[in-house]
Structure 1
Amino acid sequence: MKKRLSVAGVALLTVLAAVFAFGQPAHAAAGFSVANGRLYDANGTEFVMRGVNHAHTWYPQQTSSFANIKALGANTVRVVLASGDRWTKNSAADVANVISLCKANRLICVLEVHDTTGYGEDGAATTLNRAVDYWLSIASTLAGQEKYVIVNIGNEPYGNQGYGSWATDTANAVKRLRSGGIAHTIMVDAPNWGQDWSFTMRDNAGTVFNADPAKNTVFDIHMYGVFDTAAEITDYLGRFRSAGLPIVVGEFGFNHSDGNPDEDTIMAYSQANGIGYLGWSWSGNGGGVEYLDMATAFDPNRLTSWGQRIFNGANGIRATAREASVYSGTTPTTPPTSPSPTTPPTTTPPPSGGCTASYTIVNSWQGGFQGEIKVTAGSAAVNGWSTTWTFTGGQTISQSWSTTLSNSGSTYTGRNVDYNGRLGAGASTTFGFIASWNGTNAIPAVSCTAS
């Protein structure tokens, strides 16, 4: 995963020439934004990432990992994708499914292209420019997801050679994404296998930030053996804080072949200073760094010592993560892209004193889809509700949220949970699910019974 770094000879830290001051942009309801070195969600609420990396592109069948990571307290997952330049390309449909899984589990998705890792030193790696080509090729899939998705252009885009062009290449990549219609918060990785021992990202971050017409870029440092003392960690992160530039620890571990990172300081300093962190990685590591698995064989009931440390230890995920406010009190659904959901919801006016339900396909991909059912009270308040429908196209639900779901064959029943059973007259709530289908994904009629 990472290579041993040649850091001997790196001596005195270079002092930043000036402190950069950036005013707060108007919060766009469309998605995340950056102001004064902080990240804000679409509601204007500060958001601090607390989560892990998941190697989806190498383990695409491990879709249950999203729910398992969420259940352990995370609010963010950084998802490994591939542009097709080194590893098998993740299709637009697959990315749509990943986003749906994030939203179903009330996670913020940081999507990253891994094919750029170590460019200039690793001959198999590709350029940031090629990563931008990939993002633009799936732009229609990303559109409308700005509240839930952050675009991390390319993982560790340079090794220890040829990284002098990092600032120019990164600035150009950001500008290409903006001109191509990508309105999301953009995350950019450091060179030197992500660890920036040359301080190239640190000393050029202001220039890259200002190159973004939206002023909506976050910087990503990876902390392994280079960051083995508290002084190195606090100095590096502190300089970004002082400069008013947003910084995230996008990868770190408790040990590594290039040295022993000080994970206690990484987590404590990040918590004290409102800095996000994302540990590497959930499961499936190879190449001699299997010890970085947090869960053995993707099993959340078999956490390793590293998994226990990052999820349950001091300043860990469970104790410090706060769910993004865009999910608070709501069921995550996919904002409609153009066109709106292909099949209009089927509904009838709520009967007096009862309830009705409507069924909508929010998002669809080959063999799968995300569905949503909206429950609306009639002219009188209800204290609880249940809905029933029967699939006719071989659909099978694999995940659901904001409901207690049961089924008998193709007939499903969704009942309220504690927080969404009471509805005032005319009020509505929603619940959702992820399902597979074959044949025809027909819209079923849904009945609603109030209690």
Structure 2
Amino acid sequence: MSNIDPTAGALPRGRALRKWLLAAATALAVALAGIWALLPASAQTEGGFSINGTQLIDANGNPFIMRGSTHPDVWFQSELDSIGELSDFGVNTVRVVLGSGERAWGVSTPDRVAQIVAECKAQRVICVLENHDTTGYGEQAGAASLDQSVDFWEGLYDVLAGEEEYVLINIGNEPIGNTDAAQWTDATIAAVQRMRGIGFEHTLVVDAPNWGQDWQYVMRDNAPAVAAADEDGNTLFSIHMYGVFTDPQTVIDYFDAFEAMGLPLIVGEYGDAFGDQPVPWDTIQAEAQARGIGWIAWSYSGNSDNRLDQVLDFDPAQKTTWGEHVFDSQYGVANTAERASVFGDDPGDDDTTPPDDETTPPDDETTPPPTGDGDCTAAIAIVNDWGSGWQASVTVTAEADLSGWTLDWTWPGGQSVQSHWNADLTTSGSSVTASDVGWNGSIASGQTKEVFGFIGTGTAATPDVTCNAA
């Protein structure tokens, strides 16, 4: 989105070589142990974010689902406090607008980018850095090409190398307009390959053409080729949802397409309106929650049309209606965001000290932790079924306080799990066992909680599930 008013083939470097040597040594060691084939895909890429099927995986091997907002830093460099304010609202991701120098708003220098990354880490949010100068290339005068954008990122290599646990690189914002949108595929493949050649190991985020909205389906139809061209298998696709997505069904259809391909997708931008047209923000949020898709809302403040401001004048006390939708709605930030596990628990999460007016009960009066059968029940529900595959969500109901859970079920005939998120899952023939991944193991007595999801193959089925407290 660009409605903010600006006036208000190198050789691999040392890190890339070290990566190759480490990967070779690791592969040899695991092969000798005879267990390489048993490792999940996420375990084969160490040191930062990675991709496993449709899911973004953090450096600790846990699924990470973005719930965030955008900070327009290149236009408002006196507003760096916005990152902390967004963290206070509960976001786990901040997308930060940078400039490479082709446009009038100037260049984000290495020193400034280092400051931004440090602030994101201090505020315990994942940083998605994007170059905004590519917006509308081929249609908007002065826009940078993706190749020029890679030149910009190369100049930031020394700042960003080693930050793979905390930073994703959005190579170029809305990198092609509506003129010759088909050029996106070759340009994106070349950009991804150049980034890897320079030595970048980060998850790379690629925006769609058509000003990010992909109404000609160039990204959708060519995403498999782009994903295959990344030697690290670590590319995340980003769709921007505005005027092209005013019908809720268009949101569902686009999400369905990437699920069917088994490729990772985020909504890199969206609003609740596009001019005078309403955008189905609630469908975007609800469908993203059901599917484990990340989203980043546009934008915190500073828009020339303040209907897209989440707060007015960069003042967190002046939250707008759009801000309430982002932060406070049923599937908004406050109710769905989980802090990235690389930051550990939120301060106070594990504080078990009783208030001053309470005392710890004697040892013989404490309630033992739940164990064994009868402490929980679980169910599988079908979210979508597109014939060749289907999506399911799994809920657990606690009959006593749970600190962890393990689920078992048996497929009735020919089904299998193609990909999954937010659970450790193993299969043996038609038998499946799934368990929590730590952060989603705690469920209060009487509470029903959606705990994980998966993509299935074969005829959609909802077998009986046995739930055991861990």
TM normalised by structure 2 equals 0.65
Residues 139-165 of structure 1, C-alpha deviation per residue, up to 9 Å, x if partnerless?
000011000000000000011102111
SS at match of 2:237: strand
Q: Aligned residue for 1:161?
A: 179
What is the 5 A alignment of 1:219-230? 219-230=237-248
Residue 313 (1) aligns with residue 329 (2): yes
Residue 324 (1) aligns with residue 340 (2): yes
CA distance in structure 1 between the aligned counterparts of 2:61 and 2:276, rounded to whole angstroms: 40
Q: Aligned residue for 1:213?
A: 231
Q: Aligned residue for 1:124?
A: 142
What is the 5 A alignment of 1:345-384? none
Residues 324-378 of structure 1, C-alpha deviation per residue, up to 9 Å, x if partnerless?
00001499xxxxxxxxxxxxxxxxxxxxxxxxxxxxxxxxxxxxxxxxxxxxxxx
CA distance in structure 2 between the aligned counterparts of 1:223 and 1:175, rounded to whole angstroms: 27
Q: Aligned residue for 1:380?
A: none
Q: Aligned residue for 2:76?
A: 59
Q: Is the 8 A contact 1:48 1:274 kept in 2?
A: yes
Residue 292 (1) aligns with residue 308 (2): yes
Structure 2 residue identity aligned to 1:116? T
CA distance in structure 1 between the aligned counterparts of 2:214 and 2:317, rounded to whole angstroms: 35
What is the 5 A alignment of 1:31-430? 31-86=48-103, 87-257=105-275, 259-286=277-304, 289-329=305-345
CA distance in structure 2 between the aligned counterparts of 1:129 and 1:59, rounded to whole angstroms: 26
**Distance apart, 1:2 and its partner CA:** 5.2
Count of residues paired in the alignment? 310
Structure 2 residue identity aligned to 1:304? T
Q: 1:207 to 1:258 in 2, by over 3 A?
A: farther
SS at match of 1:26: helix
Q: Is the 8 A contact 1:32 1:147 kept in 2?
A: yes
In structure 2, stretches of 5+ residues that fail to align are: 4-39, 348-470
RMSD: 1.4
**Distance apart, 1:314 and its partner CA:** 1.4
Structure 2 residue identity aligned to 1:301? A
**Distance apart, 1:55 and its partner CA:** 0.3
Q: Is the 8 A contact 1:27 1:44 kept in 2?
A: no
Partner residue of 1:29 out of 31, 36, 46: 46
Structure 2 residue identity aligned to 1:110? V
SS at match of 1:115: helix
SS at match of 1:100: helix
SS at match of 2:238: strand
**Distance apart, 1:290 and its partner CA:** 1.9
Q: 1:216 to 1:258 in 2, by over 3 A?
A: farther
**Distance apart, 1:26 and its partner CA:** 3.2
Q: 1:259 to 1:120 in 2, by over 3 A?
A: farther
**Distance apart, 1:258 and its partner CA:** 7.2
SS at match of 1:318: helix
TM normalised by structure 1 equals 0.67
SS at match of 2:82: helix
**Distance apart, 1:261 and its partner CA:** 1.3
Residues 64-107 of structure 1, C-alpha deviation per residue, up to 9 Å, x if partnerless?
10110000010000000000111311110100000000000000
SS at match of 1:187: strand
Moved more, 198-207 or 82-91: 82-91
**Distance apart, 1:37 and its partner CA:** 1.1
SS at match of 2:233: coil
SS at match of 1:323: coil
Q: Is the 8 A contact 1:248 1:275 kept in 2?
A: yes
Q: Is the 8 A contact 2:95 2:129 kept in 1?
A: yes
In structure 1, stretches of 5+ residues that fail to align are: 4-22, 332-451
Q: Which of structure 1's runs of 4+ aligned residues deviate more than 3 A?
A: none
Q: Is the 8 A contact 2:339 2:346 kept in 1?
A: no
CA distance in structure 1 between the aligned counterparts of 2:141 and 2:181, rounded to whole angstroms: 14
Structure 1 residue identity aligned to 2:174? E
Q: Is the 8 A contact 2:227 2:235 kept in 1?
A: yes
CA distance in structure 1 between the aligned counterparts of 2:345 and 2:236, rounded to whole angstroms: 27
**Distance apart, 1:36 and its partner CA:** 0.8
Identity of aligned residues (%): 46
Structure 2 residue identity aligned to 1:73? G
CA distance in structure 2 between the aligned counterparts of 1:46 and 1:207, rounded to whole angstroms: 24
Structure 1 residue identity aligned to 2:204? I
Residues 399-432 of structure 1, C-alpha deviation per residue, up to 9 Å, x if partnerless?
xxxxxxxxxxxxxxxxxxxxxxxxxxxxxxxxxx
